[in-house]
Amino acid sequence: MNKKLAIVLMGVAFLAGFMPFVAVKTKWFQPAAAQANADILVNLDQRDLKRLDELVGRFNRAQGDNLMVISLTIDSGPWIHDVYTDGTVIVWTVDNTRDAHSSPKQKQTYTCTSVEKIETSERYVLQLSKCGGQNDKLPILDIEKNREH
Protein backbone atom coordinates (compact mmCIF):
# COMPACT_ATOMS: atom_id res chain seq x y z
CA MET A 1 0.00 0.00 0.00
CA ASN A 2 1.16 3.49 -0.76
CA LYS A 3 2.68 5.20 2.31
CA LYS A 4 0.68 8.42 1.81
CA LEU A 5 -2.56 6.48 1.48
CA ALA A 6 -1.78 4.57 4.67
CA ILE A 7 -1.17 7.83 6.56
CA VAL A 8 -4.42 9.33 5.25
CA LEU A 9 -6.37 6.20 6.22
CA MET A 10 -4.84 6.24 9.70
CA GLY A 11 -5.82 9.90 10.07
CA VAL A 12 -9.38 9.18 8.95
CA ALA A 13 -9.59 6.23 11.35
CA PHE A 14 -8.31 8.42 14.19
CA LEU A 15 -10.88 11.13 13.46
CA ALA A 16 -13.68 8.57 13.18
CA GLY A 17 -12.75 7.23 16.61
CA PHE A 18 -12.19 10.66 18.15
CA MET A 19 -15.39 12.38 16.93
CA PRO A 20 -17.81 10.41 19.17
CA PHE A 21 -15.73 11.46 22.18
CA VAL A 22 -15.92 15.10 21.08
CA ALA A 23 -19.66 14.80 20.47
CA VAL A 24 -20.24 13.43 23.98
CA LYS A 25 -18.07 16.03 25.69
CA THR A 26 -19.59 18.96 23.81
CA LYS A 27 -23.13 17.51 23.94
CA TRP A 28 -23.59 17.73 20.16
CA PHE A 29 -25.69 14.59 20.28
CA GLN A 30 -28.32 16.11 22.60
CA PRO A 31 -30.97 18.49 21.32
CA ALA A 32 -31.15 21.82 23.15
CA ALA A 33 -34.49 20.89 24.70
CA ALA A 34 -33.00 17.77 26.30
CA GLN A 35 -30.13 19.78 27.76
CA ALA A 36 -32.45 22.49 29.08
CA ASN A 37 -34.75 20.02 30.83
CA ALA A 38 -32.24 17.70 32.48
CA ASP A 39 -33.68 16.00 35.52
CA ILE A 40 -30.39 15.44 37.35
CA LEU A 41 -28.77 18.64 38.61
CA VAL A 42 -25.12 18.57 39.62
CA ASN A 43 -23.48 21.86 38.72
CA LEU A 44 -25.96 24.20 40.42
CA ASP A 45 -25.20 26.69 37.67
CA GLN A 46 -27.50 28.96 35.65
CA ARG A 47 -29.01 26.02 33.71
CA ASP A 48 -29.73 24.15 36.94
CA LEU A 49 -31.29 27.27 38.49
CA LYS A 50 -33.62 27.53 35.49
CA ARG A 51 -34.59 23.90 36.03
CA LEU A 52 -35.32 24.60 39.71
CA ASP A 53 -37.43 27.60 38.65
CA GLU A 54 -39.30 25.22 36.34
CA LEU A 55 -39.92 22.84 39.27
CA VAL A 56 -41.37 25.67 41.41
CA GLY A 57 -43.42 27.00 38.49
CA ARG A 58 -44.84 23.59 37.63
CA PHE A 59 -45.78 23.01 41.27
CA ASN A 60 -47.51 26.40 41.46
CA ARG A 61 -49.48 25.50 38.30
CA ALA A 62 -50.55 22.18 39.93
CA GLN A 63 -48.41 20.13 37.52
CA GLY A 64 -46.20 17.19 38.41
CA ASP A 65 -42.43 17.07 38.21
CA ASN A 66 -39.51 14.92 39.30
CA LEU A 67 -35.80 15.64 39.65
CA MET A 68 -32.63 14.80 41.52
CA VAL A 69 -30.12 17.31 42.86
CA ILE A 70 -26.65 16.11 43.77
CA SER A 71 -25.18 18.71 46.08
CA LEU A 72 -21.45 18.20 46.30
CA THR A 73 -19.61 19.06 49.49
CA ILE A 74 -16.10 20.47 49.70
CA ASP A 75 -14.41 17.77 51.73
CA SER A 76 -16.58 14.65 51.70
CA GLY A 77 -19.46 12.93 49.93
CA PRO A 78 -22.51 14.43 48.24
CA TRP A 79 -25.98 15.08 49.57
CA ILE A 80 -28.62 13.61 47.27
CA HIS A 81 -31.97 15.38 46.97
CA ASP A 82 -34.81 13.38 45.39
CA VAL A 83 -37.77 15.58 44.57
CA TYR A 84 -41.22 14.50 43.43
CA THR A 85 -44.41 16.48 43.08
CA ASP A 86 -47.81 15.64 41.71
CA GLY A 87 -48.73 19.34 41.73
CA THR A 88 -50.55 19.25 45.07
CA VAL A 89 -47.77 18.12 47.42
CA ILE A 90 -44.02 18.12 47.07
CA VAL A 91 -42.04 15.23 48.53
CA TRP A 92 -38.39 16.17 49.09
CA THR A 93 -35.96 13.54 50.38
CA VAL A 94 -32.47 14.54 51.50
CA ASP A 95 -29.92 11.72 51.74
CA ASN A 96 -26.65 12.64 53.46
CA THR A 97 -25.49 9.05 54.07
CA ARG A 98 -22.66 9.41 51.53
CA ASP A 99 -21.19 12.44 53.34
CA ALA A 100 -18.47 11.24 55.70
CA HIS A 101 -18.78 14.28 57.98
CA SER A 102 -22.59 14.42 58.35
CA SER A 103 -24.04 13.51 61.67
CA PRO A 104 -26.41 11.83 61.91
CA LYS A 105 -26.30 10.02 58.58
CA GLN A 106 -29.89 9.66 57.45
CA LYS A 107 -32.49 10.04 54.76
CA GLN A 108 -34.98 12.71 55.75
CA THR A 109 -38.24 13.08 53.81
CA TYR A 110 -40.40 16.19 53.89
CA THR A 111 -43.95 16.23 52.49
CA CYS A 112 -45.09 19.81 52.00
CA THR A 113 -47.75 21.85 50.21
CA SER A 114 -45.65 24.92 49.42
CA VAL A 115 -42.27 25.57 47.77
CA GLU A 116 -40.65 28.83 46.72
CA LYS A 117 -37.28 30.13 45.55
CA ILE A 118 -35.98 33.10 47.52
CA GLU A 119 -33.19 35.30 46.19
CA THR A 120 -30.88 37.30 48.43
CA SER A 121 -27.83 39.33 47.45
CA GLU A 122 -25.55 36.32 48.00
CA ARG A 123 -27.62 33.20 47.36
CA TYR A 124 -30.72 31.44 46.15
CA VAL A 125 -32.67 29.37 48.67
CA LEU A 126 -35.35 26.82 47.90
CA GLN A 127 -37.72 26.82 50.81
CA LEU A 128 -40.47 24.38 51.75
CA SER A 129 -43.38 25.24 53.99
CA LYS A 130 -46.69 23.82 55.20
CA CYS A 131 -45.02 20.50 55.92
CA GLY A 132 -47.02 17.95 57.91
CA GLY A 133 -49.33 20.46 59.53
CA GLN A 134 -46.51 22.82 60.52
CA ASN A 135 -46.27 26.30 59.08
CA ASP A 136 -42.51 26.59 59.61
CA LYS A 137 -40.40 27.56 56.63
CA LEU A 138 -37.67 25.02 55.84
CA PRO A 139 -34.69 26.14 53.73
CA ILE A 140 -33.99 22.89 51.88
CA LEU A 141 -31.41 23.86 49.22
CA ASP A 142 -28.97 26.74 49.31
CA ILE A 143 -27.04 27.86 46.19
CA GLU A 144 -24.38 30.54 46.34
CA LYS A 145 -24.67 33.08 43.54
CA ASN A 146 -20.97 32.86 42.70
CA ARG A 147 -21.63 29.19 41.68
CA GLU A 148 -24.26 30.10 39.08
CA HIS A 149 -21.82 30.72 36.20
Q: Which residues make beta-bridge pairs with 93?
A: 82, 109
Give the HSE-up count for residue 141: Cα atoms under 13 Å, Cβ half-sphere: 29
Q: Which residues make beta-bridge pairs with 129?
A: 114, 137
| Residue 124 scores a pLDDT above 90 | yes
pLDDT tens, residue by residue, 3-28: 777 776 776 666 666 556 555 555 55
pLDDT tens, residue by residue, 70-97: 987 777 788 899 999 999 999 999 998 8
Q: Taking the mean position of all CA atoms in its chain, how far away is CA 95?
A: 15
